[in-house]
Chain A
Amino acid sequence: MIFEFANPKRFMTLSGALLPWFAGAAIILLGVGLYLGLFVAPPDYQQGDTVRIMFIHVPAAWVAMMAYGLMALASLFSLVWRHPLADVAAKTAAPLGALFTTLALITGSLWGKPMWGTYWQWDGRLTSFLILLFLYLGYIALWNAIEDELRAGRAAAILALVGVVNLPIIKFSVDWWTTLHQGESIFRPDGPTISAVFIWPLFLMAFGYTALFMTLWMIRIRTEILERRARTLMLGH
C-alpha cells in the first residue's frame, strides 16, 4: 500500500485531500484540550497550577520521539527501496522533531524551576532528550552539508538508522546514570496513576499534537516536492 503512495504525484493528490482534515483535527483537539487543561482541570494539590504545563510538555515529548521513529522508518524505506519520497519524508521530519524536542526541553525546564528549584538538572530523562536534540541537529547538518541531494539523502538515512540503534542504549545509559524525573504514570500495567480530570485533556492534547505534527509534516513534504519540481523545470530551460 505504501508503494502506491510513494509516487509523488499520487501523494500530492492524497495529501491535498487529507490536509484540511488533519489541520481541522489539530485545531479542534488542541483547542478543546487546552480549554479542559487550562480552565476545567483543577489545580493539583501538590503542584498547584504548575501542573498545567504538563499538557503542553508531555505530548511534545511524545511527538518528539515519534518523529524520530518516523524519520528512521522513512530512512529505512529510502535505503532499502530507494524511494525519493521517503528521502523527502525523512528530511522534512527532522526539523519538526528538533522543534518538538526543543519545546519539550523548554517547557520541562520552566516546570522544573518551581517544582525542582532549578531550570536544568542533569537527570536521565533530561539528558537523553538533550542528546536527542543533538542527534536531530547532526542529521540536519549532514543533510545541509552534502550538495548532491541523492547522496545527502542516503548518508542521512544511514545516520538516522545508526541513531535508532543507539537511541535505546543512550536512553538506558542515562537513565541508569542518575534520575530525578518522575517515573511512568500513564502507561502502566495496573492502570494510570493520575486522575481522569488530568488524563482527558492530556490525551486530547497528545492527539492534537500528533495531528499538528502530521499537518506540518505533510505541508513540508508537499513544499519540498514542489520545490524540487520547480528546480527541475528551471534546469530544463
Chain B
Amino acid sequence: MNSVRALLFRDMRLATRAGGSAMLALAFFAAVAALVPLGVGADLKLLGRIAGGMLWVAAILAALLSLDRIFQADYEDGSLDLIALSPLSLEASAAAKIAAHWLTTGLPLTLLSPVLGLLFNLPEQGYVALIASLALGTPAASAIGAIGAGLTLAVRRGGVILPLIVLPLLAPAVIFGAGAVLSALDGLANGALWLVAAFSLAAVLLAPFAAAAAVRLNLAS
C-alpha cells in the first residue's frame, strides 16, 4: 500500500510541477469550450441547452490530451522498466497511475465545469447533474485512456492513433453524462447518472488489468 501511495504522489507531483500537463489540460478544456460559441453563435438559449454535452466532449478531449503522461514519459526515460521490476504488481501500478491521472485531470476539469457552465448560460437546475456526471464519469476516461496509452506505448506518433482507439470506447460515458445534464434540465428522473457511475466503475475495475497487459507486452522485448 505504501508503494502504491508513493507512486500516486510521484505521478501527481510530476503532473502538477513545472513541465507537467495538468494545467495545460485545464487550459485546453477552457479553450475548446470557448471555441464552441464562436462556432454555433451566441444564442444563449441554445448554448444553455448544449452546454452539458459540449462540456462533456471538451472534458474527454482534454483528458485524452494528457494521456501520454500515464505511461509514455516513464517509458521513454526508463522508469517504467523499474516500476515493472518493483515488487508492486503492474496492475496495482496501473491503477495508481490511473488514479493520479484522474486526480490531476478529471477532478480539476469537474471543478472548473460550473464556471464554464455559467459562461454557457446553463440553467440552474443543470449544475448538480453536470458536476456529478463529470465527477462520476471522468474516471472512465482516465481508465480506458490508460488502456489506449499502454497499447500505443511503442508506437511512434502514437498520439494520432490513441484518440481513434479510445474515443469510440468512451461513447457511453458521453451519452449518459450529457444525457444526465439534459434530463436534469427537463426535470426528469435522473437514471442516466447511475449509468455513468456503473460504466465508470466497470471501466476502473477492469482497465488496470488490460492496461497492465498492454504495458507488459510492450516492455517484453
Interface residues of A (CB under 8 A from B): 127, 131, 134-135, 137-138, 141-142, 145-146, 148, 151, 154-155, 158-159, 161-163, 165-166, 169-170, 173-174, 176-177
Contacts and interface: CB of A to CB of B under 8 A. Distances in A.
Given A151-B217, A173-B195, A177-B179, A163 B152 contact: no
A142 B144 CA distance: 16
Nearest to A130: B168
Contacts of A170: 168-169, 171-172
12 contacts: A127-B171, A131-B171, A141-B161, A141-B164, A142-B161, A145-B155, A145-B158, A151-B217, A158-B210, A158-B217, A169-B199, A169-B202
Contacts of B157: 145
Nearest to B174: A173
A202 to B, nearest CB: 29
B23 interface: no
B112 interface: no
B169 A166 contact: yes
Interface residues of B, number: 30
Contacts, number: 76
A237 to B, nearest CB: 26
Given A142-B161, A145-B158, A154 B171 contact: no
B217 A145 contact: no
Chief secondary structure at chain B's binding surface: helix
Interface string B205-221: 01000100110011001
Interface string B157-179: 11001001101110110011001
B168 A131 contact: yes
Interface of B: 144, 147, 151-152, 154-158, 161, 164-165, 167-169, 171-172, 175-176, 179, 195, 199, 202, 206, 210, 213-214, 217-218, 221
Contact of B175 (A137, A146, A177): A177
Given A142-B155, A158-B213, 8 more contacts: A127-B171, A134-B168, A138-B168, A142-B151, A145-B156, A154-B217, A173-B171, A174-B175
Contact of B155 (A146, A158, A169, A176): A146
A169 B202 CA distance: 11
Contact of A158 (B151, B164, B169): B151
Contacts of B155: 142, 145-146
Nearest to B198: A169
Nearest to A163: B169
A146 B158 CA distance: 10
Nearest to B211: A158
Contacts of B199: 169, 173
